[in-house]
Homo-oligomer: A and B are copies of this chain.
């Protein structure tokens, strides 16, 4: 299978697939003409990666998770640990964003949004401390 077919199948852009090869996440062999030849296993890995990335795991997490996936003797505790650390990051990010949303929401509500220059949003941004 060539890269275009794999891109269609996995939903990943060809550029991304080449990038994943470049950083060593997959190692498809080459045909005589230099084209990458993807085996089922490569496609499987790419699906795995796409799914892990969609859950927000970093590339390095993906590397770790793939290694665990391929290690038949893994302990599920190791997987869970990676996932929990990532969940904590997500929750921290959500908390940050919630705080921003609340502040911004209040400011927007307080702003008349008309032709006049008076604006609580700018007042807040330029407040002293």
CA gap between A87 and B113 in the complex, in Å: 15
Contact across chains for B80 and A111 when beta carbons are under 8 A apart: yes
User: Chain A interface secondary structure, helix, strand, loop or mixed?
Assistant: helix
Point out the residues of chain B lying under 8 angstroms from A104, CB to CB: 55-56, 83, 86-87, 90
Decide if A93 is an interface residue (CB 8 Å cutoff).
yes
How many protomers of this protein does the assembly include?
2
Residue A1, interface by CB 8 Å: no
Bound CA span A122–B68, Å: 8
Give how many A residues have a beta carbon under 8 Å from the other chain's beta carbons: 54
Given A100-B90, A103-B55: A75 touches B124 (CB 8 Å cut-off): no
Contacts of A23 in B (CB 8 A): none
Q: Is the beta-carbon distance between B79 and A122 smaller than 8 angstroms?
A: yes
- B87 adjacent to A101 (CB under 8 Å): yes
Quick check: is A39 within 8 A (CB to CB) of the other chain? no
Question: Could you tell me the distance between the alpha carbons of A37 and B41 in the complex, rounded to whole angstroms?
Answer: 61
| CB contact list, A81-118 vs B, under 8 A | 81, 83-84, 86-87, 90-91, 93-94, 97-98, 100-101, 103-105, 107-108, 111-118
Beyond A47-B128, A77-B112, 7 additional contacts (C-beta under 8 Å) are: A48-B126, A74-B119, A75-B114, A75-B115, A76-B116, A83-B108, A87-B105
